[in-house]
Structures are given as structure tokens and as C-alpha cells.
Structure 1
Amino acid sequence: MDFLLVTIGSLIAAIGFNAMFLPNHIVAGGMSGLAVALEKLCSWQPDYFLYGSNIPLLILSWVFLGKENFAKTLYGSWIFPVFITITKQIGSFTDNQLLGAIFGGVIVGFGIGLVYYGDSSTGGTGVLVQIIGKFTPISLGAAIILTDGMVVLTGLIAFDHETVMYSLIALFIVSRVVDFVAMGLNNAKNVMIISQKSEEVQQYLMDEISRGVTKLRVTGGFGNEEKEMLMCVVDGGEYPVLQRNILAIDPEAFVIVMPASEVLGRGFSLWKHYVHEDHVGALRK
């Protein structure tokens, strides 16, 4: 699945690059942005430049991100230039630089977001973004702005200041879309439930949808009455059914739902462990 995401994402990003960024001289950061400037200054082919420039960055990927990530990054850094070569004849979607920056940012950002969601990158400064994301609390979008902002400024050498302004617009859009795709695809919900029938609700959560439950002791602010709150993390697709069934158990249940941008553990980042119905009672004892 990760390699499939990297392949699809690289193809989408390559289309956005050749159809929007390159013909409109949008230097939206990264080695691909630098390739746009060098294509103008030195007539270097962007795909060939990307092949060569990834070598030292792949070494960093091996050292800091591990062998598994290196394998996927090696694949991404190879397949992205290949798709740029394949799609270079696609032609420009627009000659308007503003439209190229906006829609190119959306297309490229969506593609790169899929690649990052596949725990990889297209090489280039994407490796640096992953290293920053792994060792610091900085989000993917902010890391892109930090690493690629300097690349955008190189556009001043090859192009006029207005082109650089459009490039900054594109860079901002790319970073926002990457954050949305890479984090938004994880649509897990953190559900907190206060109910007079908490035991029945807990049994439903554990037996019917096989999700773990955490019990929290809470105190009401009005009557200082102690109650029990259940906390459970579910997939976004599971929540509508969960909501209906909880309210069927207790129509007066108080339910709080919050997005969980990242969930690690069994059932999410690890395989879900299903307990056979006959063993549920024994396990509880």
C-alpha cells in the first residue's frame, strides 16, 4: 500500500510540475523548484537534474530514517523523475502564472501528500522534511516552508520578483495541502461518553466494534456528582454507527467527539486483534 501511494502521488506531483509549475516558472521549493530555475539559467533538463541531486540526500535518508524508509525514498526519488520524463509532453494547463501557482500548488501538494502518507518522499528536500518531522515537533507543512523557502529565493536569480511572489503563493498552498492530505486522511475520532448506562455502552464498544475503552473518573460541575466517562478511539467510518447505537442504549448520553490527527497502536498502526466472543468473559475475569 505504501508503494502504491508513493507511485500514485509521484505521478500526480509530476503532472502538476510539468503542466503548471515548469511552463509558468513557478519555483515552489524543493529540488524540483531548483530544477525550474536551472532549466532557465543553464538549460538543464529537470528530470536529469533530479536524478543526480538525490544521491547525497539519499545517504542522509539511510543514516537518519532507516533502511525501510530508505528503500521507499529510493523508489520515490527514482519514480518521480521517471514520471516527469513521461509527462513532460503533457503541455501547459494554463499560461496564467497566478492560476498556475494556485492549481499547481493544489495538484503537486496532493501528490506529495500521498507520498508522505506512504511514509516516503520524492527525494530532494523531502528527505530533509522527513528528518525534521521525525526529530522535531514541527509539522510537515512548516518543515516544507523552512527547507523550501530558501529555494524559492533562488528564483530571484533566474526570474523577476513577481514570479517569486507567485512561487511563494504556490509554496504556501503546497504546504497546506500536504498537511491536509498527510494528516487528514487519518480521520480517526476520539469519542468521550458520559452515560448513566456506561457498563452497557462499554460492553457494546468492546464486543460489537472491538475497540478498547478507557474509564475516567469525572466530577460534574453543578452537583459535584462523580461520574464515569468512557474514552474510545474509532475510525471515522465507524462513528456514525457508533453514535446511533450509543443513543439507542442511552438517549440521554453525553457524547463528545474530537478529531484524532494521529493514532498509534493496535487497530490503527498495528493489526487489530479480534477477541472471540466466547473468550470475552474469561478475559475480563
Structure 2
Amino acid sequence: MKKMEFTRKQAWELLWDGVAFLAGSFLFAVAVNVFTAPNNIAPGGLTGLATMINYLFGAPIGTTILVFNVPLFIWGVLQINFRFILKTLAATVISSVTIDLTAGLFPPYQGDLMLAALFSGVLSGAGLGLIFMRGGTTGGTDLVANLIGRNFRHLSLGKLVLLVDLVVVLISAFVYRNYESPLYAIINIFVSSKLIDAVLYGADTGTGKMMFIISPKNKEIAQRIMTEISRGVTELRSRGAYRGEEGEVLLCAVRRSEVYKTQDIIRSVDPDAFVIVGDAGQISGEGFKQSHKSESK
């Protein structure tokens, strides 16, 4: 019975993953095909590079994104494992195919460029937020930053992503021979990031999250979090007030974008685990913002 119940839970999880990936990919595809690509706005990352290649050579944007991601997936499998990037692979394939399938489905917007940048940011942010909510990403700079961050832990992943996006945006000025294009792209990236946060965390503006985990499989959960997300885990001694039973509570500090990845790991190990997610106004130390003391060295 328990096995059947667990299988049913897995089926529902896969169903909701698929629904979120499809809905998010559709919104993202509309943002690209209707607002950014027709108005020569390259919204950073591999999507921005694919948009510029489409402008120069006419190559399909979705297919180009998928081709660019192939070596990243191979790198991810070799450095981490296939299971860790499985959702990223699924989300990337679905979003890339959706972009190409919906190309020409809606008439391109050719009005005010500011509106194009704003609405593309809203749609792409909402779409990516749905995908992130189910523990997936669309590969690209997020995957690159994650892989690089495993070897260079002193680097900020957020800054790595921002740096890559900035380089792509600057390149777009030369490709389109228009210095307004990168400015609108920056607006797009800013609005998109805000919408992603709104979808995932509402009005939350904290720099990170604290997760408390209680499960009879704490050892396995802790090991997978440390291996697959590269976050430290602390074991805290606990005693239940009702029965007085001794136990352990796992404490883990993660970035906001890593909350759903961590929850996905917890659910896969123990669907009945008790999890508390709290706000952390500031987190300093390895993998997070450096303390003033370390910055002064």
C-alpha cells in the first residue's frame, strides 16, 4: 500500500512538473517571439545569443538554444550526475521546442520599445518562475554558474550570471548596431528577475532562506544536499516535547533560487519529511555574501 501511495505521489509530482514546464515555456516563448526577437532585444544568456544568431543567419531560436545547451548538459552529467540535471534537461527541451513551435503563431509587437521590454520581462519572468517553482531551469547561464561555482566557491553565482548576461547585452549593441537595444535588454532582465522572485516568493526580499528538516532519513537528505547543491548542512540535537524522544533537526542555509531544488531532494528521499522554510535577512560566509572582516583582507 505504501509503495502504491508513493508511486501515486510520484505520478502527481511528474504531472505538475509537466504542467508547470509547459505553461512556463509557453509564456517564455510568447515573450521571445512576440516582444524581444522582433524588436532586436537580446535578453541576456543563451536566449540572447540565439536571438542574435536568428537575426544574423535566420536560425531557429529554440533549436539554437538547445544546441548551445548540449555541451553544458554533458559537462553537468560528468561533474555532477544525470539525476541532478534531469529536470533542467526536460525544461530546456520543452521550452526550446515551444519557442520554435509558436514562432509565427502570434503577430509580432512592433510598437513602443519600452512596452516591448516591459511586457517581455513580465511574461518571461512569470514563465521562468513557474519552471523554477518545480525545480527546473532552462539551462544556459544558470547551469554554467552552478557548475563554475562548484569549483570556485568564493565566487558569487549571482554575479557570474549577471556578468554573462552583461557580456551578451553588450555584444547585442554591435550586432544590431543600435545602442538602444542593450538598454531595453537591461530593462527586460530587471523586470524578468523581479517577476521570478514574485512568482516564487511573493513580496519576499530576503537574501536567503533557512530550512529546518526533520526526517528519519536525515543522513541521506543531508548527503544529497551537500553533494547536489553544494550547501553545508548542520545537525542540531532535538527532543520532542510530547514524547520526549531524542532526534536531530537539519539546518541548511540556501539561496532563494535553491529552495525548490532542496525541497525536491527532500521529497524524493522522504515525502513525509517535516520541513520549515524561514527568511534569512542576511547570510554571510562561504558561498554567500562575504563578511566585512573577510572583505577587508
TM-score normalized with structure 2 length = 0.59
Corresponding residue for residue 150 of structure 1:
167
Unaligned segments of structure 1, at least 5 residues: 191-201, 215-260, 275-285
After TM superposition, give the deviation of residue 176 of structure 1 in Å: 2.4
Q: Distance in 2 between matches of 1:178 and 1:134?
A: 24
After TM superposition, give the deviation of residue 7 of structure 1 in Å: 2.8
Contact 2:23 2:127 in 1 (8 A): yes
Q: Distance in 1 between matches of 2:26 and 2:146?
A: 20
Q: Secondary structure at the match of 1:23?
A: helix
Matched, 1:73 2:91: no
Taking a change above 3 Å as real, the CA distance of residues 150 and 98 of structure 1, as seen in their structure-2 partners, is same
Paired residue type of 2:182? V
Corresponding residue for residue 226 of structure 2:
none
How large is the RMSD of aligned CA atoms in angstroms?
Answer: 3.9
Corresponding residue for residue 40 of structure 1:
55
Taking a change above 3 Å as real, the CA distance of residues 118 and 76 of structure 1, as seen in their structure-2 partners, is same
Unaligned segments of structure 2, at least 5 residues: 1-12, 212-239, 250-257, 275-297
Corresponding residue for residue 241 of structure 1:
none
Corresponding residue for residue 179 of structure 2:
161
Task: Choose the corresponding residue for 1:181, options 199, 223, 227.
Answer: 199
Q: Distance in 1 between matches of 2:160 and 2:179?
A: 24
Corresponding residue for residue 103 of structure 1:
119
Q: Secondary structure at the match of 1:171?
A: helix
Contact 1:48 1:81 in 2 (8 A): yes
TM-score normalized with structure 1 length = 0.61
Contact 2:60 2:100 in 1 (8 A): no
Matched, 1:127 2:127: no
Q: Distance in 1 between matches of 2:148 and 2:55?
A: 30
Taking a change above 3 Å as real, the CA distance of residues 114 and 64 of structure 1, as seen in their structure-2 partners, is farther
Contact 2:141 2:164 in 1 (8 A): yes
How big is each residue's C-alpha offset from its partner over 1:81-121, in whole Å with a ceiling of 9 and x where there is no partner?
Answer: 11011211122245221111111011101211222222222
Q: Secondary structure at the match of 1:271?
A: coil
- Any residues of structure 2 matched to 1:13-52 within 5 Å, and which? 13-52=28-67
Corresponding residue for residue 114 of structure 1:
130
How big is each residue's C-alpha offset from its partner over 1:144-174, in whole Å with a ceiling of 9 and x where there is no partner?
Answer: 4233121111101212001111111111222
Q: Distance in 2 between matches of 1:51 and 1:23?
A: 20
Q: Distance in 2 between matches of 1:178 and 1:149?
A: 19
Corresponding residue for residue 196 of structure 1:
none
Paired residue type of 1:106? V
Corresponding residue for residue 289 of structure 2:
none
Corresponding residue for residue 60 of structure 1:
75
Paired residue type of 1:38? I
Contact 1:23 1:95 in 2 (8 A): no
Contact 2:173 2:180 in 1 (8 A): no
**Which one has a bigger Cα radius of gyration?**
1
- Any residues of structure 2 matched to 1:252-271 within 5 Å, and which? 262=259, 270-271=270-271
Corresponding residue for residue 223 of structure 1:
none
How big is each residue's C-alpha offset from its partner over 1:41-65, in whole Å with a ceiling of 9 and x where there is no partner?
Answer: 2222212212321111111222344
Q: Distance in 1 between matches of 2:21 and 2:150?
A: 19
Q: Percent identity?
A: 27
- Matched length: 214
After TM superposition, give the deviation of residue 184 of structure 1 in Å: 4.1
Q: Distance in 2 between matches of 1:65 and 1:114?
A: 24
